């Protein structure tokens, strides 16, 4: 005799409990794995802006130290070029009097190409010279280090949201120091 649909439904409903679904232990294990994955993933997404700012700050400091060290070791001036947030280094109008575009960054007489470059990714860049005159960096600024240890000096101010960092470059020794301040709310 052939089985009918009714007889199959009756057999499935009277199967033992171990054959009918998931056990409580299996469900708890799946919930535990989901909870563990969310605990590991959420902190990595939350502080992305802060980590990006810190990474860019470390990169600026490393490039400045690299240029300083290179100038002392090679006996030649070395500079680092820092681009502002609104500057496109490959734009056709990037040549300004006394400045040169990246495609022209070749040794041309006394002009020396920057040893290192940093491009802002959403970080405002300001420069304060030794006379405490503050200027916003729209295009770029070059910081040059000399073989005897000196530099063009000044203070770079990097800002993003409520975080502000001052990178002080001593004009006599070329030493680089930084201090971070948070804006008051």
125-137 per-position pLDDT tens digit: 999 988 889 999 8
Evaluate whether residue 131 is within a structural domain: yes
- Write down the pLDDT at residue 44: 59
Note whether residue 177 is domain-resident. Answer: yes
In a domain, 82, yes or no: yes
In the DSSP assignment, the letter for residue 113 is: -
- Split into its structural domains, the chain has a count of 1
CB within 8 Å of 83: residues ≥ 6 apart: 89, 117, 118, 119, 120, 125, 137, 139, 140
pLDDT score, position 107? 40
CATH code for the domain of 78: 3.55.40
The answer to whether residue 11 sits within a structural domain is: no
Q: What is the pLDDT of residue 181?
A: 80
Is 109 inside a domain boundary?
yes
The reply to whether 166 falls in a domain is yes
User: Which range of residues forms the domain containing residue 170?
Assistant: 50-182
């Amino acid at each position: 005799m052939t089985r009918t649909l009714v007889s199959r439904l009756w057999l499935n409903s009277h199967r033992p409990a171990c054959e009918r679904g998931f056990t409580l232990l299996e469900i708890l294990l799946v919930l535990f794995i989901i909870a563990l994955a969310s605990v590991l993933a959420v902190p990595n997404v939350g502080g992305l802006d802060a980590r990006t700012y810190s990474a860019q700050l470390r990169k600026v400091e490393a490039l400045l130290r690299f240029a300083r060290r290179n100038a002392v070791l090679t006996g030649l001036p070395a500079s680092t070029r820092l681009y502002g947030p609104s500057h496109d280094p490959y734009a056709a109008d990037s040549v300004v009097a006394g400045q040169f575009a990246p495609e022209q960054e070749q040794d041309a007489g006394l002009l020396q190409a920057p040893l290192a470059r940093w491009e802002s990714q959403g970080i405002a860049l300001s420069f304060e010279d030794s006379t405490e005159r503050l200027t916003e960096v729209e295009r770029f600024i070059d910081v040059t280090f000399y073989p005897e240890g000196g530099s063009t000096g000044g203070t770079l101010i990097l800002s993003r949201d409520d975080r502000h960092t001052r990178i002080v470059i001593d004009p006599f020794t070329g030493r680089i120091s930084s201090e971070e301040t948070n804006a008051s709310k």
